[in-house]
Every structure is written in C-alpha cells, then in structure tokens.
C-alpha cells in the first residue's frame, strides 16, 4: 500500500511543482495559480475571475474526450493534521466557470485512463470513511470513480471492477502482514479498522457483495460484526 501510494505521490508532486506558476492558454481565456489565488484573464488580458484557495495546484486535462481541456484545481486543506483534498473542474469553452467539484477527503484525487469505461476517470476518496483513520498516521480510504460528461460529474463505480480489485489486493497484503506479526485478534482488527473498512467498501462499490461479506468474515475479529457491517453500509 505504502509503495503504491509513494509512486502515486511522486507523480502528483512532479505535476504539482512543475506546474506552479504556469499559465494555461485556452481559446478565449488564460488561467494560472498566483500564490493561492486562481486568476483568469480574457483575450484582452482583463481579469474576469479571481478565486482564493488554501494550498492549490492546477492542471489541464481533456476529461470528456471532446478535444478541449478542462481546467482543474486540486486544493489541500489541513484537517485533523492530515491533508484534505477537493477537486474543482472548470469549463473553458465560451465561458469560464466552475462546472463541478469532488470532495476527496484524505485521498489526493487523480485521473487515469480506464479501459472499462473507454476514457478518463477521476479517482477520489470517500470522505465519509475518513473518520475510521484514527489509529496511526497512515491513511486508508476506499475510492470512488467519477466520469465527467456534459459539464458535470457522475459516479462510474458500477462500470469499474479491476481498479477496485487491484486496490484491495494491495491493502489486503498490508492487513495480512500486520496480522502475521501481531496476531489476528480484536486488538489488531482495531488497528486495521480503516483498511478493513476500505476493502469492504471497495468490494461493495465494485458490486461484489459476496466477496465483501466473505472478506469481512475472514478479517474482522471483534464481536458485533453485524453492527460494524451496518455502520459501513450506512457510509456507502
């Protein structure tokens, strides 16, 4: 898990610091992050939009495959001594405006190409599960997969399977390693609670309720497993 996210963080940081101070040029507008402010100018170099963020970085991506990039801002707000991310998506055609946003919680959002949907998806965290990360500084949350189409986002979890399984395989390796060293009792389960919840949620998001139930029976070693299951289902 740590290795996987380290690779992701390297890619994100590379994009983040490479893009600082860069101006993105569109047909009618230009946009850039100046310190913590988004500044958008028209073709006559008049400032038409200014918006303040906390700790942002920006990038330009054609999310919907129409040949025109959307302008993205990922903002980082410290919450409970952890990074808390929100992704903002701006339309750049004809008028420049905030089209939609995704609250990603403790997981830094990123975009990736998905063969299952035949295009780009946005991978973000599910902030409803952030509160389960209380035992240590490591953060484990389930993912949500989003598509951007016709100027708005929609969940694409029901179209995705392989990514959820790959995420779970990595997280289950972490749980197995911890249980091998510390024993598979309720104390260890409480330490791994965020991971267990994330794996369960990912299976549910992928539509595999059978694997979700089997996983919980195998890895959850505290009493009141049904109550824990109900509490997780309420967060989905």
Tens-digit pLDDT profile for residues 59-87: 999 999 999 999 999 999 988 788 999 99
| pLDDT cut 90: percent of the chain above it | 84
> Are 74 and 61 in contact, with CB atoms under 8 Å apart?
no
Q: What is the mean pLDDT of the chain?
A: 90
For every residue of the chain, which 3-state class applies, written as one string? CHHHHHHHHHHHHHHHHHHCCCEEECCCEEEEEECCEEEEEECCCCEEEEEECCCEEEEEECCCCCCCCEEEEEEEEEECCEEEEEEEEEECCCCCEEEEEEEEECCCCEEEEECCCCEEEEEEECHHHHHHCCCCCCCCCCEEEEEEECCEEEECHHHCCHHHHHHHHHHHHHHHHHHHHHCCCHHHHHHCHHHHHHHHHHHHHCCCHHHHHHHHHHHCCCCCHHHHHHHHHCCC
207 pLDDT above the threshold of 90: yes
pLDDT at 11: 41
pLDDT tens digit string along 48-61? 999 999 999 999 99
The structure tokens listed for 113 are 């190409």
Handedness of CA 43, 45, 51, 55 (dihedral sign): positive
What is the separation, in whole angstroms, between the first and last Cα of the chain? Answer: 22
pLDDT at 80: 76
pTM: 0.88
pLDDT at 7: 36
> Are 184 and 201 in contact, with CB atoms under 8 Å apart?
no
- Please compute the mean of the pLDDT values over residues 196-215 and round it to a whole number: 97
18 pLDDT above the threshold of 90: no
Buried b (16+ CB within 10 A) or exposed e, 119-145: bbbbbbbbbbbbebbeeeeebbbbbbb
pLDDT tens digit string along 119-177? 999 999 999 999 887 665 677 899 999 999 999 999 999 999 999 999 999 999 999 99
């Amino acid at each position: 898990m740590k290795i996987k996210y380290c690779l992701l963080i390297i890619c994100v940081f590379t994009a983040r610091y490479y893009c600082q101070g860069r101006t993105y040029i569109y047909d009618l507008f230009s946009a850039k992050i100046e310190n913590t402010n988004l500044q958008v100018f028209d073709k006559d170099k008049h400032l038409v939009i200014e918006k303040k963020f906390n700790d942002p970085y920006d990038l330009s991506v054609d999310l919907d495959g129409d040949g025109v990039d959307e302008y993205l801002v990922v903002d980082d707000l410290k919450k409970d001594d952890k990074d808390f991310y929100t992704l903002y998506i701006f339309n750049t055609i004809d008028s420049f405006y905030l089209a939609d946003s995704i609250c990603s919680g403790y997981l830094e959002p990123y975009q990736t190409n998905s063969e299952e949907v035949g295009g780009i998806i946005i991978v973000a965290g599910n902030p409803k599960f952030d509160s389960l990360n209380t035992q240590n500084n490591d953060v484990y949350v389930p993912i949500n997969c989003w598509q951007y189409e016709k100027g708005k986002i929609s969940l694409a979890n029901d179209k995705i399977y392989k990514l959820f399984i790959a995420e779970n395989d990595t997280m289950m390796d972490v749980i197995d390693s911890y249980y091998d060293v510390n024993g598979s009792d309720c104390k260890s389960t409480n330490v791994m609670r965020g991971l267990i919840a994330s794996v369960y949620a990912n299976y549910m998001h992928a539509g595999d309720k059978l694997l979700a139930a089997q996983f919980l029976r195998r890895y959850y070693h505290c009493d009141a497993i049904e109550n824990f299951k109900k509490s997780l289902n309420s967060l989905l």
